[in-house]
Amino acid sequence: MASTTSFFLPVVLLVAAAAAPARSSPHPPPRCPPSDLHALLSVKQSLGNPATLSTWSPASGDCCKWDHVRCDEAGRVNNVFIDGADDVHGQIPSAVAGLTALMSLSLFRLPGLTGAIPPCLTALSNLQFLTISHTNVSGTIPESLVRLRILDSVDLSNNRLTGSIPNSFADLPNLRSLDLRHNQLTGSIPAGLVQGQFRSLILSYNQLTGPIPRDDAQDEINTVDLSHNRLTGDASHLFAPGRPIGKVDLSWNNLDFDLSKLVFPPELTYLDLSHNRIRGTVPASLARLSTLEKLDLSYNHLCGPLPKMHGVIRHGCKPYEHNQCLRGAPIETCHRL
């Protein structure tokens, strides 16, 4: 009898387990927790309660449904993008620091946005994409941004920023894109900034001086735009052998180097070296660039014959104008027109 009981005991236990009510799973975290909701409402108030942010209302408890806001799967605010609004006024609110899950912050085309870039942004340890562009934000670029170790892209273009470019930008291990164009930045380009890590480096339309730091890295950089500054010296190292690069704009500087022996990367699609003091002859490697769409070597001190190859002739006259003594086609044809 005891053996029969022991035989049926596992069956009884299994039936009982199946009949027992299922344990309720823990409730999922609420979308837009109170901390995110409070931070967004404080941001709106600090910006003058603009109509652009009219959907930001405590009456709607789920801020993930508001305009200019996105949330992650856990219901945390991870993206705030406010753009094209003339009714936004004030400084960048310190309440932004309360959005601790924020991965992307974009403040774009906001002429009423003023003041300095606040140090509180360094509390956003998850921030990967930072855009503060086409505003009236002024002051210096804070060195403290180096605390945002996973930054991938920084766009601070078209503002009123002054001072120098922080050396700390070169220490950000994941930074791949930096756009500081159209500001009033001075000083030199930090030594490590041109080395190794960038897909896109745009520092044009500032007041930067000194040489372009030497860089022999063979990285995957696509765009280097240092135009409209006061840079001097040799920039030929940007075209190091084996380095793929798509766009180079060094125009309107005071660069002085010999172009003759440069070997341009075959991936080059855009090259503007105009309005400098570049000397020598036009190298044959330029003629072999079948992918080159934009070329401008005008207003330099180039001399000698142009290579008699289609890659040179096909760009017409304008890229070679106002040099010292260039000759040959298409220059001769241009002079007869």
Q: Collect all residues with Cβ–Cβ distance below 8 Å to 94 and sequence separation of at least 6.
A: 46, 118, 120
Instruction: Report if residue 102 sits inside a domain.
Output: yes
Ranked by mean pLDDT, the top range of 24-28, 37-41, 266-270, 291-295 is 37-41
Domain count, the chain: 1
Say if residues 144 and 119 touch (Cβ distance below 8 Å).
yes
Average pLDDT, integer, range 52-61: 91
In a domain, 326, yes or no: no
Distance in angstroms (rounded) separating the CA atoms of residues 203 and 193: 11
pLDDT tens digits, residue range 206-236? 999 999 998 666 667 889 999 999 999 999 9
Whether 104 is covered by a domain: the verdict is: yes
Structure confidence by residue, pLDDT tens digits, 157-176? 999 999 999 998 888 999 99
Residue 198 covered by a domain: no
Task: For residue 38, give the CATH number of its domain.
Answer: 3.80.10.10
Domain-located, residue 288? no
pLDDT at 217: 61
Take residue 90 and report the two structure tokens written for it.
Answer: 């004030």
Q: Smallest Cα–Cα separation from 207: which of 237, 177, 180, 169? A: 180
pLDDT tens string 170-206: 889 999 999 999 999 999 999 888 765 788 999 999 9
Q: Does residue 29 have a pLDDT over 80? A: no
Please check whether residue 261 lies inside any domain of the structure. no
Under 8 Å between Cβ of 28 and 90:
no
pLDDT at 333: 63
Whole-number Cα distances in Å, 312 to 152, 261, 272, 286, 330: 38, 16, 14, 7, 8
Residue 128 is part of which domain span? 29-139
Average pLDDT over residues 271-285: 94
Q: Mean of the per-residue pLDDT values for the chain?
A: 87
Beta bridge partners of 139: 161
Could you tell me if residue 116 is inside a domain? yes
**Residues 93-142: tens digit of each pLDDT:** 999 999 999 999 999 999 999 999 999 999 999 999 999 999 999 999 99
pLDDT for 181: 98
Alpha-carbon distance 132 to 23, whole Å?
49
Instruction: Specify whether the CB–CB gap between 109 and 134 falls below 8 A.
Output: yes
